[in-house]
Structure 1
Amino acid sequence: MAQRKARNRTVLVLAVLAVVNLYVFLVSDRPAAGLKLPVAAVAAGRQSGFAATPPSACGPNSVRIFDGLERLLRLETRLADQRTFRLGLLELGVLAEEVALAEAAVRDTVALGLLSGSGASLRVALDRFGGLHAFEVELAEGHVVQGCRDAPQRLVVRNLQHPLRTDVEVIAFKLPRNGDLATAIEQADEHPDLAAVVAEPLAQDVDFMVEARPGDAVQVIVEKRYLGREFHRYGTVIAVRYRGAAGKVAYYRHKPRGMASGYFTRDGEASTRLLLRSPVAAYPADPTAQATRVPTIEIVEGRLGAVYRREEGAPVVAVADGVVRAVGPHGEFGEMIEIALDDGRVVRYAHLMRTLGELEPGQRVLQGTRIGLVGHSGRVRTNQLRFEVFRPGANGDEHLDPLLLTQRGEEVSPRRGPSLTGERLDVFRDEVKPWRRAMRQAAR
């Protein structure tokens, strides 16, 4: 039934927009994005758009190397499986010449060979062009090597060792009148980094860039990690709860016996869905522009797609697990990525500014991985991501409704992953009882 409804909706959309498509390509010779649709601002140089190049990245804080860099791309990987410092940086999308600069700066502080395969966490702050402005390698509990750019060709590196303290706090807040997550966190007197920490686990059910509304309530139980007496960063989200315009959801982190750690609903279902709600990750953006971020349907030469208008440099993510089918420049699509999903469908990301890392056909990517940046390459005049979903066939591609990500009710993307049953479910419910109680009390 749900599939038949989706097909009917696709046919209806095709019929309604056929005239628009005819005008756009036969009369005006302009992209559909320019026809009475909200248009994102066109980036003008390296100092506009998201993840613009900052004049300096070194701030005054003694342990938080990323302070003030919230508008840069914040990415993370782990130096496991013989991954070197160099390979880790390249994987995250750092330009090769920037990698060489970072290696030279770090070499005087720590032997690079000690980092290879160490399992250390590597965190970076990049501009959208691949310039590295800050990094942190967490070698051990309380031991970090950090670097920041204070001049065009110089990274300043420091080696910190402090006693580690981890607190667990319950934080509650409501979205203010502008409906902005970052503003709510600022008003709650928390660090701006909490926005991404909250948005990521909830991305299965809530797109904070589009669906958040004033008064939406969030409670989160999260680790707060300190180096010495100074707050360093947020750690693991233990539980998170959302009540608002986009629905009611709550997830709890748990390590079942014989299974990997993960987030589960109160009934023991895995929190992950087959598809994320958006191919663009949440990032700090102008809250007054929320209305322009609602995806719109566009037909280009008979192909159905959804257009997401964002700033140049906004992070694009894999909406599901899959294998890279194609990557690189491709005519009217510009810089493009195609990913074949495990269920046979293919998703296409077009008009990217650039891809992140060294993606290549045959490479497997996981849901939520940052794979590229919004741009205006190919046959478009404004910054946008064109997102398509299709099923390849012997008689051509069958294009599907690209807004299936945003469905609710019976047509919402199904959950995936093993659910908890029997004794495992009983243990889980006993463990999360105090967490549920704490979040309910914090919400009052």
Structure 2
Amino acid sequence: MASRSLNKQIVVLGAGPAGAAVALGLKRLGYAVCVISEWRRFSALEGVSQRVLEGLRQAGLQQALASACAASLRQVRWNGETLAPNIEHLLDRPAFDAALRQDLLAAGVELLEARVRELSSTAAGHRLQLDGANGPQSCHADFLVEARGRQAPFSGKGLRGQETLSLLNHWQEQPGPARSAVESLADGWAWMARLSDGRCFWQLTLDVASADLPEKSRLAEFCAVQRAQSSLVRELFGALALQPTALRARSSTATLCQQTCGDNWLRVGDAAMAVDPLSGNGIFQSLSSSLQAPAVINTLLQKPERAALARQFHQQRVEQLFLRFARIGRDFYAMEQQWATRPFWQGRRSWPDDLPMHQTADYASLRVARAPVINGDLIDEVEVVITADQPLGIWHLQGIALAPIVLALQSAPLSEVLAPLAEGQQRMVYGWLRNQGYRQG
């Protein structure tokens, strides 16, 4: 069959939350966008926080938001203790992915189901060879957004955590209340959940190097043995949980790309940085890097003189996001003391560094510098306040520029500096200053 040729202004590879958020943002800016993706063919479940739902709402992904299950109880057994139950929302990934596609189609985004067989890129654009339902196609894109998650080709340059493998098992039981749980094990940890329709999931996360894994054909039996040793599994599931089940293995190694942006391409979501699943923030970080992407792309296309600034903005924020979530995972791993010397736990309790999650506030260390920010639909350079906890800087507080205030306080009393502001704004700015360690006198 002869290959058909397509010409597109912007092509987004991947219709997951990252690709969908970028596509909708670009559509709102008036760009013609085509999303190319393969559909998920296997069962999967994820637990997400309320913060993820807020991110979906902010991105305009209403159908995807509606597909999330109501909040359900989650148990945590860590370091030999049962912690107070909390809640999470369970996402049936095939249903969630289908809802993302509905959001794209409702917004008028072109959607093409196809596999990318070959991709070649130059300064003039990108040439894609596709295998789709209607046969082979070739496609030219002026700008390319890589949002295929962990499946996106990766050069290996950048930062990688310990090589990690997750084994996802699923089976069917009788309907019952939706619940989930997480527990630490001697050589890894397990997350488990059941949906109200009786579908059950259990995922074991292990270290690739240190785990004593059997050959591939015996992995399902290996997982069944692990489940049989867990009292938490027996609480959540029935007898079928102790039998070998359908299984899918996938990498869950934390990765950060060295370069996430060029003049005519951008990486977002897990294609730019993928976090350890223990942080519980995979979809949230995908949305975080994607919500800023339309302004970055718009700047690259409309203001080429700011290209370096736009690239700097995207790269720095991806890196900071990655380190933030890596440290969340590190601190949670460090809480587990039962098996601190076991290989799985030993490496993860000190990676990626020993810097605290939050730096101590120090008003004396505040400084004003010029840095890239999102200003409307573009990346701009303005004066921001660099703080211990915000190394990329803070531009404004609910519309109030902070740099002029910090600079003015170097030579004028607080009452004089805040006098032009409304009373409510004065209280808000003063509260922020105190949180930074400011004390009058």
TM normalised by structure 2 equals: 0.27
Between Structure 1 and Structure 2, the one with more helix by share is 2
Q: Which of the two has higher C-alpha Rg?
A: 2
